[in-house]
Chain A
Amino acid sequence: MRDGKVRAALFLGCVIPVRYPHIELAVRKTMANLNVELVDLAGFACCPDPIYFKARDKVLWLTLAARNLCVAEEAGLDVITLCSGCTSTLKEAVFLLAEDAALKERINRQLAKLGKEYKGTARVKHVVVMLRDDLGIDRVAASIRRPLSGIRVGVHYGCHLLKPSQIMDVDDADYPHILEDLVAVTGAIPVPHREQLLCCGKGCLHDLIPLQMTRDIFAAMTDAGVDCMGLICPTCFSSFDLGQITIARKMNEAYNLPVIYFCQLLGLAQGLSTEEVGLHWHRIKMDSVMEKLQRATAGPTMTCS
């Protein structure tokens, strides 16, 4: 509920807690600052992933997704996700099981073996959608202690937060603004670029194409003059942070563009240190951004020209 107390189950997924636990830390710290209560429930497993696992067996994918949703339903909680993949899987499961009664019956026959029944009562939201819709942008703004003035952030939406809009129902899939609105709340400047909605390419099984896509996104952001790239998905994060090392090696193009997950950016604006939001774990360091921020903060007291 807007302006009410937010209390929901935290669905960590696989990639963040295992590969990027510092992002989990940034989420927990920033949400604590916002008085959002994230409940850790026992019993969640992989969402499962909407690309490979779903490609192997969509019915089993749906069954396992429904099992995860049952865990939240049993606790009477909605679900907050941190990864666009988890969001995609769990929201599509909710959609398909509401759309097709026979399918729901079929899945529930399987779940009955565990003494579970999927009812369809739990809602699923990516953390950024919860911030906008349940907590409210104003309350996010009220938590800002150190506005990131002058920092130019190139937003990468990724695909699964928005599409298909029939299921995700977050924003206009062609002209979204949720992430620009949230970046602006931190005091930073959201910078538009020509590859705003291009996919990170991770799902494409090809040696070169995913790299070409990420390379084109870096080139667009560099041309737009960004200081860093902001995103909301750990798979995109991997494609862009580690991906830059690969691009430098295989394509001989170095962009050196720091990549930051939204809750890390929010943490910096709430006054947390770079260590507290885990920026020292990134392949591409944030030093240039932090120096620019310090210069901007120190600006008014400087007398030399």
Chain B
Amino acid sequence: MDRASVNFAFRKKLNQVLGGEHHNYCYQCAACVASCPAARYATDFNPRMIMQMALYGFGERLTGQDSPIWLCTNCYTCYERCPQDVRPVEVIIALKNMAAQQGTAPESVIKYAEAVLETGRTTPVTAVVDRRRQELGLEPLQKMPIEEIRRLTEE
């Protein structure tokens, strides 16, 4: 991997995504790896290597359908450990945003987010839920501000 192989175009794009710009600070110390639970359990997940791939601009590997980024547990230990304020988990989230934008994010993630936009909740409400709340003496669930959410999704 010589200098010529760095894909600066991808890095510029990553810099435009909220949180993605912090990847530039990474000096590959690997403090993020030691206490990463995903790295402990998955042989193909390593936050330092993901930051390295970001620094080289390996966009296809990072945002393609078989990207390792989706194994991140979002535990924020790397954010806690990083001496450079890279916030690796947030760089990974920026990469996930790029994948979602280009249509390569897992369907389950997209569906989950769509549910929030359509219903205001991640969890579907059924008649059983309403009945159980009533049995417990709890107030009925509040109406969700769906119209306000819809207006905020428009650029």
Give the residue of B17, B42, B105, B125 whose beta carbon is less than 8 angstroms from that of A56. Answer: B105
**Does B123 count as interface, using CB distance less than 8 angstroms?**
yes
**Does B139 count as interface, using CB distance less than 8 angstroms?**
yes
Would you call B116 and A114 a contact (CB within 8 A)?
Answer: no
Which A54-108 residues sit within 8 Å CB-CB of chain B? 54-60, 62-64, 67, 88, 103
Q: List 9 A-B pairs, minimum CB-CB distance, nearest first.
A: A203-B74, A163-B76, A55-B96, A56-B113, A52-B112, A45-B120, A159-B75, A199-B75, A164-B79
A residues within 8 A CB of B125? Answer: 18
**Does B127 count as interface, using CB distance less than 8 angstroms?**
no
B residues within 8 A CB of A59? Answer: 18
**Chain B nearest CB: distance from A127 CB in Å?**
17
Interface stretch, picked from B1-9, B25-33, B140-148, is B140-148
Would you call A55 and B100 a contact (CB within 8 A)?
Answer: yes
Would you call B142 and A42 a contact (CB within 8 A)?
Answer: yes
Q: What are 21 inter-chain pairs, A to B, with CB distance below 8 A? A: A17-B138, A19-B123, A21-B133, A24-B136, A25-B138, A42-B142, A45-B145, A46-B116, A46-B120, A52-B122, A53-B122, A56-B97, A59-B18, A67-B152, A88-B76, A159-B73, A199-B73, A201-B37, A203-B74, A204-B71, A205-B106
**Does A299 count as interface, using CB distance less than 8 angstroms?**
no
Would you call A198 and B142 a contact (CB within 8 A)?
Answer: no
**Does B13 count as interface, using CB distance less than 8 angstroms?**
no
Would you call B116 and A203 a contact (CB within 8 A)?
Answer: no
**Does B60 count as interface, using CB distance less than 8 angstroms?**
no
Residues of chain A touching chain B, judged by Cβ–Cβ distance below 8 Å, are 14-15, 17-19, 21-22, 24-25, 28, 40, 42-46, 48-60, 62-64, 67, 88, 103, 110-111, 113-114, 159-160, 163-166, 173, 198-199, 201-206, 209-210, 212-213, 278
**Number of B interface residues, CB 8 Å?**
55
Would you call A57 and B37 a contact (CB within 8 A)?
Answer: no
**Chain B nearest CB: distance from A87 CB in Å?**
12
B residues within 8 A CB of A42? Answer: 142-143
In the complex formed, the residue of B with least CB distance to A209 is B41
**Does B93 count as interface, using CB distance less than 8 angstroms?**
yes
A residues within 8 A CB of B122? Answer: 14-15, 46, 48-49, 52-53
Would you call A203 and B112 a contact (CB within 8 A)?
Answer: no
Would you call A15 and B75 a contact (CB within 8 A)?
Answer: no
The docked-state distance in angstroms from the alpha carbon of A15 to that of B141 is 12
The docked-state distance in angstroms from the alpha carbon of A18 to that of B132 is 9
Q: What is the 8 Å Cβ interface bit string for chain B, positions 59-81, against chain A (1 contact, 0 not)?
A: 00000000000111111110110
In the complex formed, the residue of B with least CB distance to A203 is B74
**Chain B nearest CB: distance from A260 CB in Å?**
17
Would you call A49 and B112 a contact (CB within 8 A)?
Answer: yes
